[in-house]
Chain A
Amino acid sequence: MEPNDDVKTILGNLIQKSGALTGLLVTKEGVSIAAQGDTSYLNTTAMSALVAGMFSATKEVARMVGETQFSILLQQGENRHIHISLVHASTMMVIIFEDYQRIGLVRHEARKGSDMLAQALAREESSHMSSDEKIATPQFKEYALNLIDKIFEAK
Chain B
Amino acid sequence: MPHINYRDREISFKIVYYGPGLSGKTTNLVYIHEVLDPDRKGEIVVLDTAEERTLFFDFFPMELGRVEGYSIRFNMYTVPGQAYYEASRRLILEGSDGVVFVADSQSERLEDNIMSFQMLRDNLADYGEDWSHFPMVLQYNKRDLSGLVPVGTLENELRLDGIPVFEAVATVGIGVMETIRMASRQVIEKFQM
Contact = CB atoms under 8 A, between A and B. Distances in A.
B98 to A, nearest CB: 12
B1 to A, nearest CB: 10
A148 B94 contact: no
B19 to A, nearest CB: 19
A155 B64 CA distance: 15
A149 interface: yes
Nearest to A153: B181
Contacts of A147: 64-65, 67, 72
Interface stretch (A13-21, A50-58, A94-102, A109-117): A50-58
Interface residues of A, number: 38
Interface stretch (A22-30, A72-80, A81-89): A22-30
B62 to A, nearest CB: 8
B91 A145 contact: no
Chain B interface residue bracket vs A: 35 or more
21 contacts: A7-B7, A29-B75, A29-B94, A30-B14, A31-B12, A33-B3, A45-B42, A45-B43, A46-B45, A53-B92, A57-B87, A124-B6, A135-B193, A140-B68, A141-B189, A145-B185, A147-B65, A147-B72, A148-B181, A148-B185, A152-B178
A141 B188 contact: yes
B59 interface: yes
Given A7-B7, A60-B91, A152-B177, A53 B75 contact: no
A133 B70 CA distance: 12
Nearest to A137: B68
B42 A144 contact: no
Given A50-B59, A57-B56, A155-B35, 5 more contacts: A7-B7, A28-B94, A50-B45, A56-B94, A57-B91
Contact of A49 (B7, B59, B68, B72): B59
Nearest to A59: B91
B57 A53 contact: yes
A43 B43 contact: yes
A134 B193 contact: yes
B59 to A, nearest CB: 5
B5 A31 contact: yes
Nearest to B96: A29
A19 B103 CA distance: 50
Contacts of A137: 68
Interface in B61-91: 61, 64-65, 67-68, 70, 72, 75, 77, 87-88, 91
Given A49-B45, A136-B193, A124 B94 contact: no
Contact of B11 (A56, A133, A135, A143): A135
A13 to B, nearest CB: 17
B164 interface: no
B181 A149 contact: yes
